[in-house]
Structure 1
Amino acid sequence: MADELVHYTVAGGTATITLDSPHNRNALSAQLRRELSAALERAKADDAVRVVQLTHTGSVFCAGMDLKEARGAGAGDQGVNEFPKILDQLWSSPKPVVARLAGPARAGGIGMVAACDIAVAVPEATFAFSEVRIGVVPAVISLTVLPRLQPRAAHELFLTGELFDAHRAVEIGLLNACVPADELDATVAGYLRSLTLGGPKALAATKELLGRPRPATPADGFAAMNELSAGFFASEEGQEGIRSFAEKRKPNWVPAD
Structure 2
Amino acid sequence: MAAPGRTLGTGTANGVRTLTLDSPHNRNALSTRLVAELYAELERAEADPGVRAVLLTHTGNTFCAGADLSEARAHDGPTDAPLELARLLRTVVAFPKPVVARVSGHVRAGGTGLLAACDISVAGPGATFAFTEARIGVAPAVISMPVLPRTDPRAMSRYYLTGERFGPAEAARIGLITLAADDPDEALAPVLDGLRQGSPQGLAESKRLVTREVLAAFDRDTGTLAELSARLFASDEAREGMTAFLERREPEWAVRQAPVR
| TM-score greater than 0.5 by the shorter chain | yes
Q: Give TM-score, length-normalised by structure 1.
A: 0.78
> Residue 162 of structure 2 aligns to which amino acid in structure 1?
T
Q: Is the 8 A contact 1:99 1:119 kept in 2?
A: yes
- The 5 Å alignment of 1:166-177 reads 166-177=168-179
Match of 1:197 in 2: 197
Structure 2 CA distance for aligned equivalents of residues 211 and 32 of structure 1? 25
Match of 2:252 in 1: none
Q: Is the 8 A contact 1:62 1:104 kept in 2?
A: yes
Match of 1:208 in 2: 208
Match of 2:28 in 1: 26
Structure 2 CA distance for aligned equivalents of residues 100 and 75 of structure 1? 35
Match of 1:40 in 2: 42
Structure 2 CA distance for aligned equivalents of residues 141 and 31 of structure 1? 20
1:128 aligns with 2:130: yes
Residue 81 of structure 1: how far off its partner (Å): 2.8
Match of 2:157 in 1: 155
Match of 1:109 in 2: 111
- The 5 Å alignment of 1:1-257 reads 3-77=5-79, 79-180=81-182, 183-212=183-212
> Residue 58 of structure 1 aligns to which amino acid in structure 2?
G
Residue 211 of structure 1: how far off its partner (Å): 2.6
Structure 1 CA distance for aligned equivalents of residues 37 and 137 of structure 2? 28
Structure 2 CA distance for aligned equivalents of residues 212 and 98 of structure 1? 18
Structure 1 CA distance for aligned equivalents of residues 31 and 129 of structure 2? 19
Residue 67 of structure 1: how far off its partner (Å): 0.6
Structure 1 CA distance for aligned equivalents of residues 212 and 179 of structure 2? 25
Match of 2:250 in 1: none
Residue 205 of structure 1: how far off its partner (Å): 0.7
Residue 41 of structure 1: how far off its partner (Å): 1.8
DSSP-derived class of the 2:49 partner: coil
Structure 2 CA distance for aligned equivalents of residues 124 and 21 of structure 1? 19
Change (3 A) 1:75 1:206: farther
Q: Which moved more, 1:79-88 or 1:195-204?
A: 79-88
Structure 2 CA distance for aligned equivalents of residues 43 and 151 of structure 1? 34
Q: Deviations over 1:66-105 (max 9, x none)?
A: 1111113145436223211211111111100110001010
Q: Is the 8 A contact 2:52 2:97 kept in 1?
A: yes
Structure 1 CA distance for aligned equivalents of residues 57 and 70 of structure 2? 23
Name stretches of at least 5 consecutive residues in structure 2 with no aligned partner. Answer: 214-261
Structure 1 CA distance for aligned equivalents of residues 16 and 198 of structure 2? 13
Change (3 A) 1:49 1:75: farther
Q: Is the 8 A contact 1:97 1:118 kept in 2?
A: yes
Q: Deviations over 1:14-38 (max 9, x none)?
A: 0101100111111111111111121
Q: Give TM-score, length-normalised by structure 2.
A: 0.77
Q: Is the 8 A contact 1:70 1:78 kept in 2?
A: no
Name stretches of at least 5 consecutive residues in structure 1 with no aligned partner. Answer: 214-257
Q: Deviations over 1:132-154 (max 9, x none)?
A: 11011111100000011101011
Where relative contact order (Cα < 8 A, 6+ residues apart) is larger, the structure is: 2
Structure of higher CA gyration radius: 1
Structure 1 CA distance for aligned equivalents of residues 40 and 71 of structure 2? 20
DSSP-derived class of the 1:100 partner: strand
DSSP-derived class of the 2:210 partner: helix
Q: Deviations over 1:169-197 (max 9, x none)?
A: 011011111112xx221222321111111
Change (3 A) 1:144 1:75: farther
